[in-house]
Every structure is written in structure tokens, then in C-alpha cells.
């Protein structure tokens, strides 16, 4: 268990495309941080990072909050680095 940051969460006809655009925007600025697009009916979601502690996630959230003002931290099963 760990933490990820949610940078996109929406449903509707354009949600899939908006999720792709949001993820691409993130990757262009933070290419060294993993991002994940998920679909959990009826929502498309984009999560970023694999943080072991909430304080690590909070530090990164502060870095990205200008670009993604609605981002928030959530508990998740994370992938540990190789």
C-alpha cells in the first residue's frame, strides 16, 4: 500500500479524451513520474506517482498544484520501482 495523486476524475462523453489530454500534459512536464489512466464505471481517472508515504505524496502535490489545482492524494496499491 502507498499513495498516488489523482489529477483527473470525470465521466461523460468527453471524459476519455480529457483524461488522455490531462495525462499527456502531465507526462510532458514530469516525464520521470509514472502516470496511470483508469476506467472505473462511469469515471475516467488519471493517477500519478507511486509514493510510499503520505509526506512524499504531499511534497509532490505541492510541485504540481499550479498545473493541476484540483489534484488530491489518495491511498492506493502502488508499484515499487525496480
* pLDDT single digits (tens) 2-49: 999 999 999 999 999 999 999 999 999 999 999 999 999 999 999 999
**Which pLDDT value is given to residue 19?**
98
The answer to whether the Cα torsion of 72, 75, 77, 81 is positive or negative is positive
Could you tell me the pLDDT band of residue 82, with boundaries at 50, 70 and 90? low
**Which pLDDT value is given to residue 79?**
84
pTM of the model: 0.92
26 class by beta-carbon count within 10 Å (0-12 exposed, 13-18 middle, 19+ buried):
buried
* pLDDT tens profile 55-80: 999 999 999 999 999 999 999 999 87
Amino acid at each position: 500500500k502507498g499513495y498516488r495523486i489523482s489529477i483527473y476524475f470525470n465521466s461523460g462523453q468527453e471524459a476519455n479524451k480529457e483524461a488522455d489530454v490531462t495525462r499527456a500534459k502531465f507526462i510532458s512536464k514530469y516525464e520521470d513520474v509514472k502516470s496511470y489512466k483508469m476506467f472505473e464505471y462511469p469515471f475516467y481517472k488519471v493517477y500519478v506517482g507511486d509514493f510510499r508515504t503520505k509526506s512524499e505524496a504531499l511534497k509532490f502535490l505541492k510541485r504540481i498544484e499550479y498545473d493541476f489545482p484540483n489534484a488530491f492524494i489518495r491511498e492506493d496499491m502502488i508499484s515499487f520501482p525496480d
